[in-house]
Amino acid sequence: MTHLPPGSRQPALLQTVQLRDPVRYLESLRRRHGPVFRMKLLGLPPQVVVSTAELAAEIYRTDGDGSRAGALRAGFVPWLGQFSLFTNDGEPWWRHRKLLSPTLHGRSIAGYPDLIAEIAAEDIRTWPLGRPFALQEHMQSITLEITLRLVFGVRDVNQQSRLRALLLALSKASGSPALFLMPARLRAWAERSPLATRVPFLPTTRTMRASAAVDKVLFGEIARRREEGDREATDVLGRLLQARDEQGRPMSDQEIRDELITLLEAGLETTATGLSWAFERLMRSPEVLGRLREEMERGEDERYLDAVVKEVLRLRTVIYGSGRLLDKPLRLGGYEIPAGWVAIPMFSLIHQDSEVYPEPQEFRPERFLGEGAKAAQKSFLPFGGGRRYCVGAQLATMEMKVIIREVLRRVELTPATPEPEAQRMWHATLIPGKHAVAVARQRPLTQPPSSEQPTCPAHPSAPE
Ligand code: HEM
Protein backbone atom coordinates (compact mmCIF):
# COMPACT_ATOMS: atom_id res chain seq x y z
CA MET A 1 0.00 0.00 0.00
CA THR A 2 1.36 3.45 -0.80
CA HIS A 3 -1.59 5.75 -0.19
CA LEU A 4 -1.83 8.37 2.54
CA PRO A 5 -3.88 7.82 5.69
CA PRO A 6 -7.40 9.23 5.91
CA GLY A 7 -8.00 12.57 7.57
CA SER A 8 -10.00 15.74 7.81
CA ARG A 9 -10.66 17.62 4.56
CA GLN A 10 -11.32 20.87 6.36
CA PRO A 11 -9.07 23.89 5.66
CA ALA A 12 -5.97 24.16 7.88
CA LEU A 13 -7.37 27.20 9.69
CA LEU A 14 -10.48 25.31 10.80
CA GLN A 15 -8.44 22.30 11.95
CA THR A 16 -6.10 24.59 13.91
CA VAL A 17 -8.99 26.33 15.65
CA GLN A 18 -10.55 23.01 16.66
CA LEU A 19 -7.29 21.95 18.25
CA ARG A 20 -8.02 24.44 21.03
CA ASP A 21 -10.02 21.53 22.48
CA PRO A 22 -7.52 18.82 21.54
CA VAL A 23 -9.01 15.98 23.57
CA ARG A 24 -12.44 16.14 21.96
CA TYR A 25 -11.19 17.04 18.48
CA LEU A 26 -8.53 14.33 18.30
CA GLU A 27 -10.92 11.73 19.72
CA SER A 28 -13.48 12.61 17.03
CA LEU A 29 -10.82 12.21 14.32
CA ARG A 30 -9.77 8.85 15.70
CA ARG A 31 -13.41 7.65 15.80
CA ARG A 32 -13.93 8.73 12.21
CA HIS A 33 -10.62 7.65 10.67
CA GLY A 34 -9.06 4.93 12.84
CA PRO A 35 -5.68 4.65 14.58
CA VAL A 36 -3.66 6.51 11.89
CA PHE A 37 -4.99 9.76 10.46
CA ARG A 38 -3.66 12.95 8.96
CA MET A 39 -4.12 16.59 9.93
CA LYS A 40 -3.16 19.95 8.50
CA LEU A 41 -2.40 22.80 10.86
CA LEU A 42 -1.71 26.41 9.98
CA GLY A 43 1.95 27.18 9.27
CA LEU A 44 3.09 23.59 9.88
CA PRO A 45 3.99 20.72 7.52
CA PRO A 46 1.28 18.04 7.01
CA GLN A 47 0.93 15.77 10.04
CA VAL A 48 0.16 12.12 10.63
CA VAL A 49 -1.20 11.15 14.04
CA VAL A 50 -1.08 7.69 15.63
CA SER A 51 -3.12 6.47 18.59
CA THR A 52 -1.56 3.15 19.64
CA ALA A 53 1.73 2.43 21.43
CA GLU A 54 2.80 -0.04 18.68
CA LEU A 55 2.51 2.66 16.02
CA ALA A 56 4.27 5.15 18.30
CA ALA A 57 7.17 2.70 18.60
CA GLU A 58 7.50 2.72 14.80
CA ILE A 59 7.89 6.48 14.89
CA TYR A 60 10.45 6.29 17.72
CA ARG A 61 12.51 3.86 15.66
CA THR A 62 13.28 6.78 13.32
CA ASP A 63 14.89 8.82 16.15
CA GLY A 64 18.45 9.72 15.25
CA ASP A 65 18.17 8.30 11.74
CA GLY A 66 15.18 9.38 9.70
CA SER A 67 13.55 12.06 11.83
CA ARG A 68 14.24 15.07 14.05
CA ALA A 69 12.36 16.46 17.05
CA GLY A 70 14.38 19.64 17.64
CA ALA A 71 13.64 20.97 14.14
CA LEU A 72 9.96 21.18 15.09
CA ARG A 73 10.76 23.24 18.17
CA ALA A 74 12.74 25.95 16.32
CA GLY A 75 10.23 28.59 17.44
CA PHE A 76 11.58 28.25 20.99
CA VAL A 77 15.20 29.04 20.04
CA PRO A 78 14.98 32.82 20.62
CA TRP A 79 14.45 32.38 24.36
CA LEU A 80 15.65 28.83 25.08
CA GLY A 81 18.84 29.62 23.17
CA GLN A 82 20.82 27.98 20.39
CA PHE A 83 22.29 25.23 22.63
CA SER A 84 19.05 24.00 24.20
CA LEU A 85 18.56 20.25 24.43
CA PHE A 86 14.94 20.81 23.51
CA THR A 87 15.54 22.51 20.16
CA ASN A 88 18.69 20.76 18.89
CA ASP A 89 19.20 17.59 16.88
CA GLY A 90 22.16 15.43 15.84
CA GLU A 91 25.57 15.81 17.44
CA PRO A 92 24.95 19.06 19.42
CA TRP A 93 21.81 17.50 20.94
CA TRP A 94 23.60 14.25 21.81
CA ARG A 95 26.52 16.10 23.47
CA HIS A 96 24.15 18.02 25.72
CA ARG A 97 21.94 15.01 26.42
CA LYS A 98 25.00 13.16 27.76
CA LEU A 99 26.06 16.16 29.86
CA LEU A 100 22.60 16.87 31.25
CA SER A 101 21.11 13.40 31.85
CA PRO A 102 23.38 12.40 34.76
CA THR A 103 22.48 15.60 36.65
CA LEU A 104 18.79 14.62 36.70
CA HIS A 105 18.99 10.91 37.44
CA GLY A 106 19.73 8.34 40.12
CA ARG A 107 22.20 9.35 42.77
CA SER A 108 22.30 12.99 41.63
CA ILE A 109 18.71 13.52 42.78
CA ALA A 110 18.54 10.86 45.52
CA GLY A 111 19.02 13.52 48.20
CA TYR A 112 16.26 15.81 46.93
CA PRO A 113 13.08 14.41 48.63
CA ASP A 114 13.71 16.07 52.02
CA LEU A 115 14.13 19.52 50.53
CA ILE A 116 11.17 18.99 48.19
CA ALA A 117 9.00 18.02 51.19
CA GLU A 118 10.25 21.08 53.08
CA ILE A 119 9.42 23.39 50.16
CA ALA A 120 5.95 21.82 49.86
CA ALA A 121 5.34 22.17 53.61
CA GLU A 122 6.35 25.86 53.51
CA ASP A 123 3.79 26.48 50.79
CA ILE A 124 1.01 24.42 52.40
CA ARG A 125 1.28 26.62 55.51
CA THR A 126 0.13 29.57 53.36
CA TRP A 127 -3.02 27.82 52.06
CA PRO A 128 -6.34 29.38 53.05
CA LEU A 129 -8.43 27.01 55.15
CA GLY A 130 -12.16 26.42 54.78
CA ARG A 131 -12.68 28.35 51.56
CA PRO A 132 -12.14 27.53 47.87
CA PHE A 133 -8.77 28.29 46.30
CA ALA A 134 -6.93 27.20 43.16
CA LEU A 135 -4.37 24.45 43.80
CA GLN A 136 -2.69 24.97 40.42
CA GLU A 137 -1.18 28.31 41.53
CA HIS A 138 0.30 26.67 44.61
CA MET A 139 1.65 23.75 42.61
CA GLN A 140 3.32 26.30 40.33
CA SER A 141 4.93 28.11 43.24
CA ILE A 142 6.15 24.82 44.73
CA THR A 143 7.68 23.65 41.44
CA LEU A 144 9.16 27.12 40.85
CA GLU A 145 10.77 27.01 44.28
CA ILE A 146 12.18 23.55 43.50
CA THR A 147 13.64 24.90 40.26
CA LEU A 148 15.14 27.88 42.07
CA ARG A 149 16.77 25.91 44.87
CA LEU A 150 17.49 22.45 43.43
CA VAL A 151 18.05 23.23 39.74
CA PHE A 152 19.49 26.77 39.83
CA GLY A 153 20.85 26.30 43.35
CA VAL A 154 20.19 29.91 44.40
CA ARG A 155 20.90 30.25 48.12
CA ASP A 156 20.82 34.00 48.76
CA VAL A 157 17.30 34.96 49.91
CA ASN A 158 17.26 38.33 48.10
CA GLN A 159 18.49 36.75 44.91
CA GLN A 160 15.85 34.04 45.30
CA SER A 161 13.00 36.53 45.52
CA ARG A 162 14.33 38.57 42.60
CA LEU A 163 14.70 35.55 40.37
CA ARG A 164 11.36 34.11 41.55
CA ALA A 165 9.49 37.18 40.27
CA LEU A 166 11.42 37.21 36.98
CA LEU A 167 10.99 33.49 36.33
CA LEU A 168 7.29 33.73 37.04
CA ALA A 169 6.99 36.56 34.51
CA LEU A 170 8.95 34.53 31.95
CA SER A 171 6.94 31.39 32.55
CA LYS A 172 3.66 33.32 32.19
CA ALA A 173 4.74 35.14 29.03
CA SER A 174 6.17 32.08 27.31
CA GLY A 175 3.17 29.93 28.33
CA SER A 176 0.62 32.09 26.55
CA PRO A 177 -1.62 30.11 24.13
CA ALA A 178 -1.39 33.05 21.71
CA LEU A 179 2.33 32.35 21.45
CA PHE A 180 1.82 28.62 21.04
CA LEU A 181 -0.79 29.03 18.33
CA MET A 182 1.21 31.66 16.42
CA PRO A 183 2.35 30.17 13.08
CA ALA A 184 6.05 29.29 13.35
CA ARG A 185 7.18 31.69 10.60
CA LEU A 186 5.25 34.63 12.00
CA ARG A 187 6.63 33.91 15.44
CA ALA A 188 10.21 33.69 14.17
CA TRP A 189 9.76 37.05 12.43
CA ALA A 190 8.13 38.70 15.48
CA GLU A 191 10.95 37.47 17.74
CA ARG A 192 13.73 38.83 15.54
CA SER A 193 12.38 41.87 13.73
CA PRO A 194 13.58 45.09 15.46
CA LEU A 195 10.19 46.63 14.64
CA ALA A 196 8.07 43.80 16.08
CA THR A 197 10.11 43.43 19.25
CA ARG A 198 9.09 47.00 20.16
CA VAL A 199 5.35 46.25 20.04
CA PRO A 200 4.60 45.70 23.75
CA PHE A 201 1.34 43.71 23.47
CA LEU A 202 2.78 40.98 21.23
CA PRO A 203 3.30 37.70 23.19
CA THR A 204 6.72 37.39 21.55
CA THR A 205 7.80 40.82 22.84
CA ARG A 206 6.72 40.04 26.40
CA THR A 207 8.59 36.73 26.30
CA MET A 208 11.79 38.20 24.89
CA ARG A 209 11.80 41.03 27.46
CA ALA A 210 11.19 38.65 30.36
CA SER A 211 13.91 36.35 29.04
CA ALA A 212 16.45 39.22 28.83
CA ALA A 213 15.75 40.19 32.46
CA VAL A 214 16.19 36.58 33.64
CA ASP A 215 19.43 36.25 31.65
CA LYS A 216 21.02 39.18 33.43
CA VAL A 217 20.55 37.52 36.81
CA LEU A 218 21.39 34.01 35.59
CA PHE A 219 24.69 34.95 33.98
CA GLY A 220 25.61 36.67 37.25
CA GLU A 221 24.79 33.48 39.19
CA ILE A 222 26.79 31.31 36.79
CA ALA A 223 29.83 33.63 37.08
CA ARG A 224 29.56 33.67 40.89
CA ARG A 225 29.31 29.87 41.09
CA ARG A 226 32.26 29.41 38.71
CA GLU A 227 34.32 31.62 40.97
CA GLU A 228 33.23 29.70 44.06
CA GLY A 229 34.25 26.44 42.36
CA ASP A 230 32.24 24.27 44.80
CA ARG A 231 32.91 20.68 43.67
CA GLU A 232 30.48 19.23 46.21
CA ALA A 233 27.43 21.19 44.98
CA THR A 234 24.40 18.94 44.47
CA ASP A 235 22.11 21.29 42.55
CA VAL A 236 21.86 20.92 38.76
CA LEU A 237 23.79 24.14 38.04
CA GLY A 238 26.63 23.00 40.31
CA ARG A 239 26.78 19.65 38.53
CA LEU A 240 26.67 21.24 35.07
CA LEU A 241 29.63 23.43 36.01
CA GLN A 242 31.58 20.26 36.84
CA ALA A 243 30.39 18.26 33.79
CA ARG A 244 32.85 17.41 31.00
CA ASP A 245 32.13 15.90 27.59
CA GLU A 246 34.08 13.01 26.04
CA GLN A 247 36.81 15.41 24.91
CA GLY A 248 37.06 16.79 28.44
CA ARG A 249 35.44 20.11 27.47
CA PRO A 250 33.26 21.97 30.00
CA MET A 251 30.04 23.74 29.07
CA SER A 252 30.26 27.47 28.31
CA ASP A 253 28.21 30.02 30.28
CA GLN A 254 25.82 30.35 27.36
CA GLU A 255 25.36 26.57 27.11
CA ILE A 256 24.59 26.34 30.83
CA ARG A 257 22.21 29.29 30.70
CA ASP A 258 20.34 27.72 27.76
CA GLU A 259 19.91 24.41 29.61
CA LEU A 260 18.78 26.06 32.85
CA ILE A 261 16.06 27.97 30.99
CA THR A 262 15.15 24.78 29.11
CA LEU A 263 14.72 22.89 32.39
CA LEU A 264 12.59 25.71 33.75
CA GLU A 265 10.38 25.83 30.67
CA ALA A 266 10.09 22.06 30.26
CA GLY A 267 9.76 21.13 33.91
CA LEU A 268 7.84 23.76 35.81
CA GLU A 269 4.39 23.98 34.24
CA THR A 270 4.31 20.28 33.33
CA THR A 271 4.98 19.03 36.86
CA ALA A 272 2.64 21.63 38.42
CA THR A 273 -0.08 20.49 36.03
CA GLY A 274 0.48 16.79 36.77
CA LEU A 275 0.16 17.59 40.48
CA SER A 276 -2.97 19.69 40.02
CA TRP A 277 -4.61 16.84 38.16
CA ALA A 278 -3.52 14.41 40.87
CA PHE A 279 -5.48 16.37 43.49
CA GLU A 280 -8.37 17.10 41.13
CA ARG A 281 -8.79 13.34 40.58
CA LEU A 282 -8.03 12.19 44.15
CA MET A 283 -10.56 14.61 45.69
CA ARG A 284 -13.27 13.13 43.49
CA SER A 285 -12.26 9.50 44.00
CA PRO A 286 -12.82 8.71 47.71
CA GLU A 287 -11.97 5.02 47.33
CA VAL A 288 -8.60 5.68 45.75
CA LEU A 289 -7.84 8.47 48.22
CA GLY A 290 -8.87 6.22 51.13
CA ARG A 291 -6.59 3.40 50.02
CA LEU A 292 -3.71 5.79 49.39
CA ARG A 293 -4.04 7.37 52.85
CA GLU A 294 -4.32 3.96 54.47
CA GLU A 295 -1.21 2.65 52.76
CA MET A 296 0.71 5.83 53.55
CA GLU A 297 -0.31 5.66 57.21
CA ARG A 298 0.66 2.01 57.45
CA GLY A 299 4.05 3.03 56.05
CA GLU A 300 3.63 0.67 53.08
CA ASP A 301 6.13 0.81 50.27
CA GLU A 302 5.42 3.29 47.52
CA ARG A 303 3.76 0.93 45.06
CA TYR A 304 0.23 2.32 45.37
CA LEU A 305 1.44 5.93 45.35
CA ASP A 306 3.48 5.11 42.26
CA ALA A 307 0.38 3.61 40.58
CA VAL A 308 -1.67 6.69 41.51
CA VAL A 309 0.89 9.00 39.87
CA LYS A 310 0.94 6.85 36.73
CA GLU A 311 -2.84 6.68 36.52
CA VAL A 312 -3.10 10.47 36.87
CA LEU A 313 -0.58 10.99 34.06
CA ARG A 314 -2.44 8.45 31.92
CA LEU A 315 -5.96 9.73 32.46
CA ARG A 316 -5.06 13.41 32.39
CA THR A 317 -2.10 13.39 30.02
CA VAL A 318 -0.26 16.66 30.59
CA ILE A 319 1.37 16.93 27.14
CA TYR A 320 -0.98 15.48 24.59
CA GLY A 321 1.59 14.63 21.90
CA SER A 322 5.15 15.22 20.72
CA GLY A 323 6.13 14.82 17.07
CA ARG A 324 9.06 14.07 14.79
CA LEU A 325 9.85 15.75 11.47
CA LEU A 326 10.46 12.94 8.97
CA ASP A 327 13.64 13.21 6.91
CA LYS A 328 12.86 9.95 5.10
CA PRO A 329 9.57 8.34 4.02
CA LEU A 330 8.09 6.11 6.73
CA ARG A 331 5.84 3.07 6.42
CA LEU A 332 3.34 3.44 9.20
CA GLY A 333 0.31 1.24 9.83
CA GLY A 334 0.20 0.22 6.17
CA TYR A 335 0.53 3.76 4.85
CA GLU A 336 3.50 5.45 3.22
CA ILE A 337 4.21 8.78 4.91
CA PRO A 338 6.37 11.11 2.78
CA ALA A 339 9.54 12.82 4.01
CA GLY A 340 8.82 16.34 5.22
CA TRP A 341 5.70 15.27 7.14
CA VAL A 342 5.41 15.36 10.92
CA ALA A 343 4.63 12.03 12.65
CA ILE A 344 3.00 12.41 16.07
CA PRO A 345 2.43 9.76 18.76
CA MET A 346 -0.69 11.29 20.36
CA PHE A 347 -0.33 10.33 24.03
CA SER A 348 -3.82 11.50 25.01
CA LEU A 349 -5.30 9.03 22.48
CA ILE A 350 -2.85 6.22 23.25
CA HIS A 351 -3.81 6.50 26.93
CA GLN A 352 -7.47 6.02 26.02
CA ASP A 353 -6.91 2.78 24.09
CA SER A 354 -9.66 0.57 25.55
CA GLU A 355 -7.88 -2.64 24.51
CA VAL A 356 -5.08 -1.80 26.92
CA TYR A 357 -7.03 0.25 29.47
CA PRO A 358 -10.58 -1.17 29.88
CA GLU A 359 -13.07 1.62 30.70
CA PRO A 360 -10.34 4.15 29.99
CA GLN A 361 -12.26 7.09 31.48
CA GLU A 362 -12.16 5.52 34.96
CA PHE A 363 -9.49 6.62 37.46
CA ARG A 364 -8.14 3.21 38.48
CA PRO A 365 -4.52 3.07 39.74
CA GLU A 366 -4.86 -0.72 40.12
CA ARG A 367 -4.23 -0.94 36.35
CA PHE A 368 -0.57 -0.39 37.14
CA LEU A 369 -0.46 -3.12 39.79
CA GLY A 370 -0.75 -6.87 39.46
CA GLU A 371 -1.60 -8.80 36.33
CA GLY A 372 -2.38 -6.14 33.73
CA ALA A 373 0.44 -3.86 34.85
CA LYS A 374 2.88 -4.92 32.14
CA ALA A 375 0.49 -4.10 29.30
CA ALA A 376 -0.59 -0.86 30.99
CA GLN A 377 3.04 0.16 31.39
CA LYS A 378 3.85 -0.61 27.74
CA SER A 379 1.31 1.91 26.46
CA PHE A 380 2.11 4.51 29.11
CA LEU A 381 3.82 7.43 27.36
CA PRO A 382 3.27 10.67 29.33
CA PHE A 383 7.00 11.43 29.00
CA GLY A 384 7.22 10.54 25.30
CA GLY A 385 9.61 7.91 24.04
CA GLY A 386 12.60 6.98 21.91
CA ARG A 387 15.82 8.95 22.25
CA ARG A 388 13.96 12.17 23.11
CA TYR A 389 12.23 10.63 26.16
CA CYS A 390 11.76 13.34 28.81
CA VAL A 391 15.10 13.88 30.53
CA GLY A 392 13.30 15.11 33.67
CA ALA A 393 10.87 12.17 34.03
CA GLN A 394 12.58 10.74 37.11
CA LEU A 395 12.71 14.09 38.88
CA ALA A 396 9.09 14.89 37.92
CA THR A 397 7.85 11.55 39.27
CA MET A 398 9.83 12.04 42.48
CA GLU A 399 8.43 15.56 42.91
CA MET A 400 4.88 14.34 42.38
CA LYS A 401 5.19 11.53 44.90
CA VAL A 402 6.84 13.64 47.61
CA ILE A 403 4.41 16.55 47.21
CA ILE A 404 1.29 14.34 47.13
CA ARG A 405 2.46 12.64 50.30
CA GLU A 406 3.19 15.95 52.01
CA VAL A 407 -0.18 17.48 51.06
CA LEU A 408 -2.19 14.43 52.16
CA ARG A 409 -0.30 14.31 55.43
CA ARG A 410 -1.12 17.92 56.27
CA VAL A 411 -4.59 18.70 54.88
CA GLU A 412 -7.94 17.20 53.92
CA LEU A 413 -8.98 18.37 50.48
CA THR A 414 -12.53 18.48 49.14
CA PRO A 415 -13.54 19.66 45.68
CA ALA A 416 -15.28 23.06 45.49
CA THR A 417 -17.79 21.53 43.04
CA PRO A 418 -18.59 17.84 42.49
CA GLU A 419 -18.24 17.96 38.68
CA PRO A 420 -14.85 17.00 37.25
CA GLU A 421 -12.85 19.91 35.84
CA ALA A 422 -12.55 20.00 32.05
CA GLN A 423 -9.19 19.70 30.30
CA ARG A 424 -8.16 23.09 28.94
CA MET A 425 -5.24 23.82 26.67
CA TRP A 426 -2.52 26.06 28.09
CA HIS A 427 0.56 26.24 25.90
CA ALA A 428 1.50 22.63 25.15
CA THR A 429 -0.20 21.33 28.30
CA LEU A 430 -3.74 20.36 29.24
CA ILE A 431 -4.58 21.95 32.58
CA PRO A 432 -7.66 21.62 34.84
CA GLY A 433 -10.22 24.14 33.52
CA LYS A 434 -10.73 25.81 36.93
CA HIS A 435 -7.12 25.35 38.06
CA ALA A 436 -8.06 22.53 40.48
CA VAL A 437 -10.23 24.44 42.94
CA ALA A 438 -10.29 22.84 46.40
CA VAL A 439 -11.26 23.52 50.00
CA ALA A 440 -8.54 22.57 52.50
CA ARG A 441 -8.93 21.64 56.16
CA GLN A 442 -6.10 21.01 58.59
CA ARG A 443 -5.51 17.47 59.71
CA PRO A 444 -3.33 16.25 62.54
CA LEU A 445 0.12 15.42 61.24
CA THR A 446 0.68 11.70 60.83
CA GLN A 447 4.01 9.93 60.82
CA PRO A 448 6.20 12.99 61.29
CA PRO A 449 9.64 12.36 59.84
CA SER A 450 12.20 12.02 62.63
CA SER A 451 13.76 15.40 61.71
CA GLU A 452 10.44 17.24 62.06
CA GLN A 453 9.98 19.26 65.24
CA PRO A 454 6.49 20.62 65.98
CA THR A 455 6.91 24.38 66.43
CA CYS A 456 3.88 24.88 68.68
CA PRO A 457 4.40 23.15 72.03
CA ALA A 458 0.73 23.72 72.96
CA HIS A 459 -0.48 21.71 69.95
CA PRO A 460 2.26 19.22 69.26
CA SER A 461 0.30 17.23 66.70
CA ALA A 462 -1.15 20.16 64.69
CA PRO A 463 0.44 21.40 61.47
CA GLU A 464 2.48 24.50 62.24
C1 HEM B 1 4.88 15.64 34.77
C2 HEM B 1 5.90 16.32 34.31
C3 HEM B 1 6.47 16.20 32.92
C4 HEM B 1 5.91 15.73 31.77
C5 HEM B 1 4.50 15.18 31.59
C6 HEM B 1 6.90 15.83 30.72
C7 HEM B 1 6.72 15.40 29.42
C8 HEM B 1 7.65 15.51 28.41
C9 HEM B 1 7.45 15.07 27.04
C10 HEM B 1 6.18 14.44 26.51
C11 HEM B 1 8.58 15.35 26.35
C12 HEM B 1 8.83 15.08 24.86
C13 HEM B 1 9.35 13.67 24.66
C14 HEM B 1 9.36 13.25 23.21
O15 HEM B 1 9.42 14.08 22.32
O16 HEM B 1 9.29 12.02 22.98
C17 HEM B 1 9.52 15.96 27.27
C18 HEM B 1 10.80 16.38 26.94
C19 HEM B 1 11.62 17.04 27.80
N20 HEM B 1 11.42 17.26 29.14
FE21 HEM B 1 9.79 16.71 30.23
N22 HEM B 1 8.04 16.38 31.24
C23 HEM B 1 7.83 16.62 32.58
C24 HEM B 1 8.75 17.13 33.50
C25 HEM B 1 10.01 17.54 33.17
C26 HEM B 1 10.99 18.05 34.11
C27 HEM B 1 10.77 18.15 35.63
C28 HEM B 1 12.08 18.41 33.39
C29 HEM B 1 13.39 18.98 33.85
C30 HEM B 1 13.68 19.38 35.05
C31 HEM B 1 11.81 18.11 31.99
C32 HEM B 1 12.69 18.35 30.95
C33 HEM B 1 12.48 17.96 29.64
C34 HEM B 1 13.42 18.22 28.56
C35 HEM B 1 14.74 19.00 28.66
C36 HEM B 1 12.90 17.63 27.40
C37 HEM B 1 13.54 17.58 26.02
C38 HEM B 1 14.34 16.29 25.89
C39 HEM B 1 15.00 16.11 24.53
O40 HEM B 1 14.47 16.62 23.55
O41 HEM B 1 16.02 15.41 24.48
N42 HEM B 1 10.55 17.58 31.90
N43 HEM B 1 8.94 16.03 28.53
Domain spans, the chain? 79-320+367-442
Average pLDDT over every residue of 192-215: 83
Give phi and psi for 235, each to the nearest 5. -80, 165
What's the CA gap between 6 and 35, in Å, rounded? 10
The residues, ordered by sequence, that sit 6+ positions from 163 with a Cβ below 8 Å of its Cβ are 148, 152, 154, 214, 217, 218, 221
pLDDT score at 89: 97
Ligand 1 centroid, distance to 267 Cα (angstroms): 7
Q: Which of 239, 344, 383 to mutate to test the pocket of ligand 1 (most atoms within 8 A of CB)?
A: 383
Q: 443-450: which pairs have CB atoms within 8 A and are 24 or more residues apart?
A: 443/409, 443/410, 443/411, 443/412, 445/409, 445/410, 446/296, 446/297, 446/409, 447/296, 447/297, 447/299, 447/409, 449/114, 449/117
Complete edge-to-edge strand list for the sheet that includes strand 411-415: 133-134, 437-442, 411-415
Residue 447: pLDDT above 60? Answer: no
Confidence label for 36 from pLDDT (cuts 50, 70 and 90): very high
Note the pLDDT tens digit of each residue in 37-86.
Answer: 999 998 889 999 999 999 999 999 999 999 999 999 988 888 899 999 99
Take atom 17 of ligand 1 and give the residue whose Cα is closest. Answer: 390
Ligand 1 centroid, distance to 259 Cα (angstroms): 13
Give phi and psi for 73, each to the nearest 5. -110, 20
What's the CA gap between 123 and 357, in Å, rounded? 35
Note the pLDDT tens digit of each residue in 210-227.
Answer: 888 999 999 999 999 999
pLDDT score at 343: 98
Closest approach atom of ligand 1 to CA 322:
15
96 vs 197, higher pLDDT: 96
Chain centroid, CA 279 distance in Å? 16
Note the pLDDT tens digit of each residue in 236-254.
Answer: 999 999 999 999 999 999 9
Average pLDDT over every residue of 164-174: 85
Residue 464: pLDDT above 50? Answer: no
pLDDT score at 449: 46
Q: Is the CB of 262 under 6 A from ligand 1?
A: yes
Residue 161: pLDDT above 70? Answer: yes
Take atom 24 of ligand 1 and give the residue whose Cα is closest. Answer: 267
Residue 462: pLDDT above 60? Answer: no
Q: Is the CB of 274 under 6 A from ligand 1?
A: yes
Q: Is the CB of 86 under 6 A from ligand 1?
A: yes
Q: Is the CB of 323 under 6 A from ligand 1?
A: no
* Residue type at 408 in one-letter notation: L
Q: 112-124 vs 393-410: helix axis angle to the nearest 10?
A: 40
Q: Which of 83, 256, 390 to mutate to test the pocket of ligand 1 (most atoms within 8 A of CB)?
A: 390
Ligand 1 centroid, distance to 327 Cα (angstroms): 23
Residue 379 DSSP symbol: T
Ligand 1 centroid, distance to 86 Cα (angstroms): 9
Closest approach atom of ligand 1 to CA 395:
27
Residue 229: pLDDT above 70? Answer: yes
CB 132 within 8 A of CB 439: yes
What's the CA gap between 82 and 364, in Å, rounded? 42
Ligand 1 centroid, distance to 11 Cα (angstroms): 31
Residue 458: pLDDT above 60? Answer: no
Strands 47-50 and 36-39 turn out to be antiparallel
pLDDT score at 457: 33
Note the pLDDT tens digit of each residue in 300-330.
Answer: 789 999 999 999 999 999 999 999 999 999 9
Q: Is the CB of 33 under 6 A from ligand 1?
A: no
Residue 463: pLDDT above 50? Answer: no
Ligand 1 centroid, distance to 389 Cα (angstroms): 7
Domain 79-320+367-442 fold: Cytochrome p450 (1.10.630)
Q: Which range (181-190, 262-271, 288-297, 445-454) has the least confidence? A: 445-454
Confidence label for 149 from pLDDT (cuts 50, 70 and 90): very high
Note the pLDDT tens digit of each residue in 51-61.
Answer: 999 999 999 99
Average pLDDT over every residue of 289-300: 91
Among 275, 249, 284, 292, CA closest to 418: 284
Q: Is the CB of 263 under 6 A from ligand 1?
A: yes
Ligand 1 centroid, distance to 322 Cα (angstroms): 10
Strands, DSSP E only, in 113-240? Answer: 133-134
pLDDT score at 202: 82
Confidence label for 181 from pLDDT (cuts 50, 70 and 90): low
Ligand 1 centroid, distance to 108 Cα (angstroms): 18
Residue 112: pLDDT above 70? Answer: yes
Closest approach atom of ligand 1 to CA 70:
40
Q: Is the CB of 267 under 6 A from ligand 1?
A: yes
Q: 288-294: which pairs have CB atoms within 8 A and are 24 or more residues apart?
A: 288/363, 288/364, 288/365, 289/408, 292/408, 293/408
Closest approach atom of ligand 1 to CA 151:
30
Q: Characterise 386 by phi-psi region: left (phi > 0), alpha (psi -120 to 50), beta (else).
A: left
Q: Is the CB of 395 under 6 A from ligand 1?
A: yes
| pLDDT above 70 as % of the chain | 94
Q: Which range (101-115, 267-281, 439-453) has the least confidence? A: 439-453
Mean pLDDT for all residues in the chain: 91
